[in-house]
Amino acid sequence: MSEYFDQYLTVLAFGAFGAVLVAGLLGLASLIRPSNPTPAKLETYESGIDPIGGGYSQTHIRYYVFALLFLIFDVEAVFIFPWALKLESLGAFALWEMFIFIGILLMGLLYTIRKGVLKWE
C-alpha cells in the first residue's frame, strides 16, 4: 500500500514540477524581457489587416458526431484493457464474448460511415 502511495506521489511531484518549471522560466524571462504593450500590439493578428468581426465567431464544428462515437469506443477501450490482461486465464469463453462485443461496436461504426458523416459537404 505504501509503495502504491509513493508511486503516485512521484507522479504528482512530476506534474507539479512541470507547472513550477513553466512558472519559473516565465518569471525569469519577465525580469529581462521588455514590456511595452500598445493597443496596436494587442490587436488580434489577422495576417496584417485589421481584424474583421470577433475572434469568437460562429464556427461549424465538423465531425461532432464522431466525438459521440469516440466516447463509445473509448469506453470500449477501458473494457478491453482488463480483458486483455486476464485473457490467458479466462480462455475461449472470454474470446467469444469480446468478439461479439467488438462486432456490435463495428456495426455502429459501419452505420455512421454509411450515413455519410465522413463526407465533407
Q: For binding to another protein (CB under 8 A), which residues are involved? A: 6-11, 13-19, 21-23, 25-26, 28-30, 32-37, 39, 41-47, 51, 54-57, 59, 61-63, 66-67, 70, 73-74, 77, 80-81, 84-85, 87-88, 91-92, 95, 98-99, 102, 106, 109, 112-113, 118-120
Q: How far is the CB of 49 from another protein (least distance, A)?
A: 12
**C-alpha cell of 57?**
465567431
| Distance in angstroms (rounded) separating the CA atoms of residues 41 and 51 | 13
Q: How far is the CB of 97 from another protein (least distance, A)?
A: 11
| Distance in angstroms (rounded) separating the CA atoms of residues 47 and 117 | 33
Measured between its terminal Cα atoms, the distance across the chain in Å is 55
| Distance in angstroms (rounded) separating the CA atoms of residues 93 and 100 | 11
Sequence-ordered list of residues with C-beta below 8 angstroms from that of 28, at least 6 positions apart, any chain: none
Residue 69: which of 98, 100, 110, 30 has the closest Cα? 110
Q: How far is the CB of 42 from another protein (least distance, A)?
A: 4
Q: How far is the CB of 79 from another protein (least distance, A)?
A: 11
